[in-house]
């Protein structure tokens, strides 16, 4: 059998594959729900406490379950039906959103109650995130995976545009209205996942030994380029993330209110969606490693400009640039990691990847909150942007093979494992640590 001609691959849409279309719809619905909920929780916590530290605690409370469950969730995703895991997790998130709605409506939703429910959501998402990541390669032919990753990212970013703005608008009716809407959307997403039908062979169920639980970490450690790609995102977003402090910017610096907060949270997704659509139509073909590093550097520079901005319009534009640059990194990293990982390992590798992502996002929110409590929000964001640029320069030296990655088309030969290992072990680098 001959491989499809390049022109036919370029014209083939992943949305013609019904399982992926259902998955895409579920991602849109669940991400809108999550983003609406984030706006409501952030604004409500800040109204209750007026504390940057407590805003950071929201991120920490979500991150801790992912950290403690990381080894278990990857093993579960590789042993059991990923569709069933995903739909159960989405349904539980719907119930958690309903609890937030009831508590807010009845007046018992204190800071501690919010943290408790957010912890449950974090534990649920610890299982959901790697499961959804590992599910994507089974929904489309392998040749379409980079395009599927871009379309999946566009689903997320479409929702991240709609969700925060919609959440800010609905918040006018009260936080319980936002949480109720989120609950309905989570349950809808669960139903869409339940409709996915694919022919798949369940992986061999290994016993849950320590070795099998640690297999994802061992796999990533054995491939310095994958480690470099994941850790670049970890430290860049951990240091450069400004989104946790957006309630403070909206309330105290830009004075825009909850609707302005929703628009600020949507702005990165506007840039990210535009870039995702561009990459879905015209995937990167050459110098993908260099492009990824450049994009992360732009992410850091955009963070610096945002920190210094006092104009609402400039802040929106800067956040859009930040989102577009981040999307380039997301598509390159996700495609590279998935293509380099065998199917029977994808759950565990995705679980480790999810911990890195969770660390950069949720723990990054905590770091931003703590730094803002010490230095003030402006200096916290400024310092983070500078740190991101420094990380990019350092990672270019630590992972030269990743920086030199040319194509994603043939990942087995895009980075020669021997040269990657030798590069990692060369003087002045520490790619294997």
DSSP 3-state of 104:
helix
Check residue 319 and give its pLDDT. Answer: 92
Question: What is the rounded average pLDDT for all residues in the chain?
Answer: 78
How far apart (Å, rounded) are the C-alpha atoms in residues 370 and 351?
27
State yes or no: pLDDT of 9 exceeds 60. Answer: no
Most confident of 176-190, 375-389, 417-431: 176-190
Domains in the chain (CATH in brackets) are: 13-196+212-425 (1.20.1250.20)
Residue 143 — pLDDT band, cuts 50, 70, 90? Answer: confident
Q: Of all residues in the chain, what percent carry a pLDDT higher than 90?
A: 16
Q: pTM for this one? A: 0.64
Using one digit for the tens of pLDDT, what is the confidence trace for 55-104?
878 878 887 887 787 767 766 766 777 888 888 999 999 999 999 999 99
Q: CB within 8 A of 98, min separation 6: which ones?
A: 179, 180, 183
What average pLDDT does range 147-152 have in this prediction?
76
Using one digit for the tens of pLDDT, what is the confidence trace for 17-41?
788 888 888 988 999 999 899 889 9
Give the DSSP H/E element, type plus range, for residue 414: helix 411-414
Using one digit for the tens of pLDDT, what is the confidence trace for 220-270?
777 777 888 888 877 877 777 677 788 888 888 888 877 788 788 888 878
3 state SS for 151-172: HHHHHHHHHHHHHHHHHHHHHH
How far apart (Å, rounded) are the C-alpha atoms in residues 351 and 79?
13
Q: What is the DSSP string of 339-386?
A: HHS-GGGHHHHHHHHHHHHHIIIIIHHHHHHHHHHHH-HHHHHHHHHH
Q: What is the DSSP string of 109-125?
A: --HHHHHHHHHHHHHHH
How far apart (Å, rounded) are the C-alpha atoms in residues 45 and 91?
24
How far apart (Å, rounded) are the C-alpha atoms in residues 420 and 225?
7
Residue 333 — pLDDT band, cuts 50, 70, 90? Answer: confident
How far apart (Å, rounded) are the C-alpha atoms in residues 96 and 219?
34
DSSP 3-state of 391:
helix
Q: CB within 8 A of 402, min separation 6: which ones?
A: 224, 225, 228, 229, 232, 289, 395, 415
To the nearest 10 degrees (0 to 180), the angle between helices 288-308 and 312-340 is: 150
State yes or no: pLDDT of 433 exceeds 50. Answer: no
Q: How many CA atoms lie within 13 A of 311 on its CB side?
A: 5
């Amino acid at each position: 059998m001959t491989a499809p001609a390049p022109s036919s691959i370029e014209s083939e849409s992943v949305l013609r594959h019904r399982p992926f279309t259902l998955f895409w719809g579920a991602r849109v619905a669940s991400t809108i729900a999550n983003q609406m909920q984030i706006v409501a929780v952030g604004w409500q916590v800040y109204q209750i406490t007026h504390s940057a530290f407590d805003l950071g605690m929201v991120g920490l409370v979500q991150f801790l379950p992912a950290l403690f469950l990381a080894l278990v969730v990857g093993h579960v995703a590789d042993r059991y039906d990923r569709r069933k895991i995903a739909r159960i997790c989405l349904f539980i998130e719907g119930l958690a959103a309903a609890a937030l709605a009831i508590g807010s409506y009845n007046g018992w939703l204190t800071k501690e109650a919010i943290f408790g429910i957010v912890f449950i959501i974090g534990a649920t998402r610890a299982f959901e995130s790697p499961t959804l990541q590992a599910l994507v390669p089974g929904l489309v032919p392998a040749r379409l995976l980079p395009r599927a990753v871009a379309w999946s990212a566009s689903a997320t970013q479409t929702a991240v545009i709609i969700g925060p703005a919609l959440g800010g608008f609905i918040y006018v009716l009260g936080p319980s209205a936002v949480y109720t809407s989120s609950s309905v959307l989570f349950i809808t997403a669960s139903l869409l996942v339940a409709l996915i039908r694919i022919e798949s062979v369940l992986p061999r169920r290994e016993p849950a030994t320590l070795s099998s639980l640690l297999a994802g970490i061992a796999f990533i450690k054995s491939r310095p380029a994958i480690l470099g790609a994941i850790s670049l995102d970890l430290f860049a977003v951990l240091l450069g993330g400004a989104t946790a402090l957006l309630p403070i910017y909206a309330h105290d610096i830009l004075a825009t209110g909850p609707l302005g907060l929703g628009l600020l949270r949507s702005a990165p997704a506007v840039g990210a969606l535009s870039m995702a659509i561009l990459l879905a139509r015209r995937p990167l073909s050459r110098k993908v490693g260099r492009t990824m590093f450049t994009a992360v550097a732009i992410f850091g520079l955009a963070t610096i400009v945002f920190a210094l901005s006092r104009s609402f319009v400039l802040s929106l534009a800067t956040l859009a640039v930040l989102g577009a640059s981040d999307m380039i990194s997301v598509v390159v990293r996700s495609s590279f990691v998935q293509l380099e990982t065998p199917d029977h390992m994808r759950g565990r590798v995705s679980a480790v990847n999810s911990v890195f992502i969770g660390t950069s996002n949720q723990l990054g929110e905590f770091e931003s909150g703590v730094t803002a409590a010490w230095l003030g929000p402006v200096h916290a964001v400024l310092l983070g942007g500078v740190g991101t640029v420094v990380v990019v320069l350092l990672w270019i030296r630590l992972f030269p093979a990743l920086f030199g990655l040319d194509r994603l088309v043939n990942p087995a030969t895009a980075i020669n494992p021997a040269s990657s290992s030798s590069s990692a072990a060369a003087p002045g680098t520490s790619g294997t640590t």
